[in-house]
Amino acid sequence: MKHLITIIGPTAIGKTALSIKLANHFNCEIISCDSRQFFKEMKIGTAVPSDDELTSATHHFIQNKSIFENYTVGDFEREAISKLDELFQTNDYAILVGGSGLYVDAILKGFDYFPEIDNSVREDVNQNYENFGIDYLQQKLQELDPDYFTKISNENPQTLQNPQRMMRFVEVCIGTGKPYSSFLNQKKNTRNFTPIIIGLEADRQEMYDRINLRVDLMMQAGLLEEAKNLFPNKDLNALQTVGYRELFSYFDGDFSLEFAVEEIKKNTRRFAKRQMTWFKRTEKTKWFDYKTYQQEIIDYINTTIS
């Protein structure tokens, strides 16, 4: 039987260190599903594992794409499942690690199928967003898929403020002539592995303290310079993320540097809270405090496998 040892939890909780420990113990390789770490131009602000960490275990899907590529969760699912099929030919174990809940779900449960959308539809939706803002996307989704709009409003209202997600919903509705929600919850592809899901958590204040410290360390490591180099491309989808947006506002003259850094900390804390809300819905997860001895987690996995 093949096992995919999956490590989930909020940002800055210690997932990377644990994944390397488990990869070395089980003599297997790591699949990263942190959607921010795919892009080779973004290193410091996405907390990519250090060179020592990357060489201490074989990693896949880290800095393997460019911010100029259009890379979707569907693309990741296809490529990652193909890589897992390859790894499982010679090993009974692999590690999946990351904080992007949607990408974790795509690997564990399969991703809903959506037809290809004509580029002209995508461009039209994008242009309307540029002209009329997020209100256009919200009104359009409410018109074309009122049930899904209501569901988002009640269960995940921050999604209504996410232009990338909202543009995707609207372009599917327009491009297919069907509600976006009609493509959800289809029969998923079967998987040839059994997941063992490990969750890392911490007291909220401890988690927030770790996040604040990480941001300070990122700034010391050169995040400001990294963001400055990316600033000419600030409108790319890949760069619409915490840690870069706030510094782009500093370069635009809207924020002071001190305020931008505090906004990074605040928005990262909010992001971590959303991550935990998502991951707490993940079934069959065994949760551990982030300070738990790694051997205790290994013992749990061995017990589960046997």
Q: What are phi and psi of 260, to 5 degrees?
A: -60, -45
> Which are the contacts of 200, defined by CB distance < 8 A and separation ≥ 6?
7, 8, 9, 10, 13, 14, 15, 18, 287, 288, 289, 290
Protein fold of 3-111+188-305:
Rossmann fold (3.40.50)
Do 196 and 5 contact (CB within 8 A), yes or no? yes
10 is in an annotated binding site: yes
The structure's pTM equals 0.79
Q: What is the pLDDT of residues 219-245, one digit of tens each?
A: 999 999 999 999 999 999 899 999 999
* Residue among 129, 112, 211, 217 nearest 166 (CA): 129
Q: How far apart are CA 157 and CA 137, in angstroms?
A: 14
74, β-bridge pairs: none
99 is in an annotated binding site: no
Q: How far apart are CA 187 and CA 190, in angstroms?
A: 9
**Tens digit of pLDDT per residue, the chain (306 long)?**
999 999 999 999 999 999 999 999 999 999 999 999 999 999 999 999 999 999 999 999 999 999 999 888 889 999 999 999 999 999 999 999 999 998 999 999 886 677 788 889 989 999 999 999 999 999 999 999 999 999 999 988 889 998 888 999 999 999 999 999 998 876 666 899 999 999 999 999 999 999 999 999 999 999 999 999 999 999 998 999 999 999 999 999 999 999 999 999 999 999 999 999 999 999 999 999 999 999 999 999 999 998
179 is in an annotated binding site: no
9 is in an annotated binding site: yes
* Boundaries of every domain in the chain: 3-111+188-305, 135-183
Question: Residue-wise over 218-256: b if at least 16 C-beta within 10 A, else e?
Answer: bbeeebbebbeebeeebebebbebbbbbbbbbbbeeebe
> Which are the contacts of 164, defined by CB distance < 8 A and separation ≥ 6?
237, 240
14 is in an annotated binding site: yes
Do 284 and 197 contact (CB within 8 A), yes or no? yes
> Using alpha carbons only, what angle is made at residue 33 by residues 221 and 202, rounded to the nearest 5 degrees?
70
Tokens representing residue 104 in the block:
């974790």
